[in-house]
Chains A and B, each alone.
Chain A
Amino acid sequence: MTGLLAHDALLVSFVVIFFGLIAVPVAVRTGRRDWMMLAYSAVYTNFLLVTVAVGSMLYALVTHDFSVSYVAQVGSRATPLFYTVISLWGALEGSILFWAWVLGIYAAASVWVNRRREGNLIPYAVVVLLLISLFFAILLVGPADPFKAVFPVLPDGPGPNPLLQNHILMAVHPPLLYLGYVGYSVPFAFAIGGVLSRDIERDDWIRLARRWTLIAWAFHSAAIIAGMWWSYEVLGWGGYWAWDPVENASFMPWLVATAFLHSVIVQERRGMLRLWNLNLIVGTFVLTILGTFLTRSGIISSVHAFTTGTIGYYFLAFIAVVLFGSLMVVAGNSDRLRTTGRYDAVASRETVFLLNNLFLTAFMFTVLIGTLFPLAAEAARGVKVSVGVPFFNRMTLPMIVSLLFLMGVGPALPWKSSTRAEIKDKLLVPAIGAFVLLVVALAAGMRSVYGSLAFAFVGYAAMANLREYWIGMRARRAAHGEGWGTALVRLINGNRRRYGGYVAHLGIFLVALGIAGSQSFRTEREATLKPGETMILDGRTIKLKELWGRQEPQRAVIGATFDITINGKSRGTAEPRMNFYPTSQTPIPTPDVKSSILGDLYFNLQSIREDGSAATIKVIHEPLVPWIWFGGLVVVCGALIAMFPGGRVRETLTADLPR
């Protein structure tokens, strides 16, 4: 029943999309407002229809309707309700449905917000959004149909992938990732729409594209951090990033979107880089589709890869269409995308933005080459090779530390040109910060070159960014006699984009310190203990108190309880577990992490002796890891500050209020 309803909804959405695609050219040619409204309604109706399909799927999942193919694939009566609901995005077909729904939300929201805007930009953007929606509608009735009728109907199903029902972060990471990934469709639509509408000279599209990129980017950043956290909390190896193909697939568009968020400033301020920015937006969008292709087609194996099928060909065709179409649009209009601004001097903020873009795009290409190389090697030599952590670390660390350094130079250098005295003052003073953090790192026992550089450059860049706040606040205090708190709030409000950007920078510094610290200062020990025995790691005495087991409805759990003591004082207990699911041959590790502001103590139960007399445990001391999660939060806060419009207007309003 629910399957039929959803199928009908999806089929109707085809008609609606075609209708919208016809309405736009009519509206543009005749200038009739009613046809325009019709085209916009197509976007809203499509969203409602996909919502019906998603609602049907949730209903089918919750009511355990095993006549629906997707439910038969991921559902089980024993799975708790919460994990049943989130299994909506746990496998291929459901994730495509969820994708289509998020796209529907974005398309409807972006059109609704801009529905009164004059000119042809929005109508053309509607065409692009509808075409992307059409692609997903085709997937949903074709290779990724989640509503296929199953016969005979079985009484129960296998339940979701054990890895996906083992931790609450699975409810957070995938939706955030889709909200980020799919969100880049909107700036792509505005960019192509902007070029097609022939008002590209007005640079109107760039403001819209920037706003929506920032929204997607905030979700995407949060998603990457949440994914790292999930990997850390669930996979049991004590790491958060393995340069796995799926991680790379999610990281590449982030790098290009980050490059765009910076170079867009140059276009707005100086009228340069128009063509380049267009390329960055198209590149971000194509990379999201390419990433989906890599992970959904089964062409590259990975922890998170979905099942294989014919769906890969559809994605390949779609990538080809998007690339070819964008190329035609951009190339056909390149004469109108010329630079109108002028470059004054090399020692200027413009140059730093160019270098930022150079390193971010080179970073992306390095990750892309590393990810695709096994395919190339197999095609060219017929030999399977691996490209893993050591390669990516070796190649990208120089770029990462360069970018950290640039984050200190960029905010300090003025636009256009700078005097020798300015450069001296702005670039030399933050060296104090570099020196302080470097000394701290070396005193703490840092021995790696890149770790030391990361600490030093973070110190440098953090001081440069904080100094911008300090200079601005001091000026406000002098001019308006404000207190420090008021000055800070008004400073940020006066130019949210700029100071929001600096907040995001601070978040990145925290993430960088967390990664550098945990990679450099990590110590670990593995031991096989019987109850009552102890091991020592970094001055912490870890005693195995007991081993235990229990049966839960959907799984069996074996756990170990450890007492942690430092200098004879109790520091709590840890309970790492192993969860055994009927669908998985190997146990799913469930490490226990004891966090403090300076770092984590990570417990993973490696194995347990069959008679239950002893357990092998790995304990890892990982300094600064919580800073990564906190830094991610700060990055998102920075993006939120930069996202909201206003600024100057608000400032004059509040300035007139009685204090």
Chain B
Amino acid sequence: MNQRSWVAICFAMALLVAAPLGAQSVADSILEARTTAVAAELRCPVCQGLSIQDSPSELSQEMRGMVRDQLRAGKTPAEVKAFFVSKYGEWILLTPTAQGFNLLLYILPFVLLLAGAVVIIVVVRRWTHTAEPVSLPPTDSP
């Protein structure tokens, strides 16, 4: 590395340290992070299964702008989402709200996982307790 690139790195580091001093940019980056978090949970109405955060479509860009504006105006993320639900219906949320019938979606996978685990425990117990003589294949492939 030559001297010039060191100077450039020092300069960049200085910028990194100095940047947060501007309170405006801190607020901006926080707002941007919150916007991203909400936008990732909202479905792009004209795409297939992409969030408005990921989608390159113009509508998604507009919707991201709306999310940013509403958050800046002091709405909570839940309120912003509720606004979009009232406009588009529950369909706009990429994760269904965990209540009522939707709970099935969250519980069923874990019920199955637990049931499988129980089956394994029962079966392994039974197998380890049967002490019949066994003839094992002599090979020692995998």
Binding site for B on A (CB under 8 A): 236-239, 242-245, 265, 268-272, 301-303, 339-346, 351, 354-355, 358-359, 361-362, 365-366, 369-370, 373, 376-377, 380-381, 383-391, 394-395, 495, 497-498, 501, 539, 567-568, 586, 589, 604, 606-607, 616, 618, 647-648
Q: Do B91 and A243 have beta carbons less than 8 Å apart?
A: no
B30 within 8 A of A: no
CA gap between A351 and B134 in the complex, in Å: 18
CA gap between A63 and B112 in the complex, in Å: 54
Which of chain B's residues has its CB closest to A301's CB? B48
CA gap between A203 and B39 in the complex, in Å: 53
Q: Do A387 and B48 have beta carbons less than 8 Å apart?
A: no
CA gap between A369 and B43 in the complex, in Å: 19
CA gap between A22 and B89 in the complex, in Å: 56
Q: Do A358 and B101 have beta carbons less than 8 Å apart?
A: no
Instruction: From known contacts A346-B128, A497-B141, infer whether A237 and B54 are also in contact, taking CB-CB under 8 Å.
Output: yes
Q: Do B49 and A244 have beta carbons less than 8 Å apart?
A: yes
Q: Do A390 and B40 have beta carbons less than 8 Å apart?
A: yes
Could you name 14 residue pairs across A and B whose Cβ atoms are closer than 8 Å?
A: A237-B55, A244-B49, A303-B48, A303-B49, A342-B127, A369-B105, A373-B96, A388-B94, A389-B54, A390-B41, A495-B141, A606-B61, A647-B141, A648-B141
Contacts of B4 in A (CB 8 A): 567
B20 within 8 A of A: no
Known pairs A339-B127, A358-B116, A358-B117 / 13 extra A-B pairs, C-beta < 8 Å: A237-B54, A345-B128, A362-B113, A365-B112, A369-B108, A370-B105, A373-B105, A386-B43, A387-B94, A389-B51, A389-B54, A389-B94, A539-B12
Chain A-chain B contacts (Cβ-Cβ < 8 Å), number: 149
Q: Do B40 and A384 have beta carbons less than 8 Å apart?
A: no
Interface size on B, as a range, is 35 or more
CA gap between A368 and B43 in the complex, in Å: 20
A246 to B: closest C-beta gap in Å: 9
Q: Do B90 and A385 have beta carbons less than 8 Å apart?
A: yes
Binding site for A on B (CB under 8 A): 4-5, 8, 12, 40-41, 43, 47-51, 54-58, 61, 89-96, 100-102, 104-106, 108-109, 112-113, 116-117, 120, 124, 127-128, 130-132, 134, 136-137, 141-142
B140 to A: closest C-beta gap in Å: 8
Q: Do B142 and A385 have beta carbons less than 8 Å apart?
A: no
Contacts of A386 in B (CB 8 A): 43, 49, 91-94, 96
Q: Do B56 and A237 have beta carbons less than 8 Å apart?
A: yes
Contacts of B132 in A (CB 8 A): 342
Contacts of A395 in B (CB 8 A): 106, 109
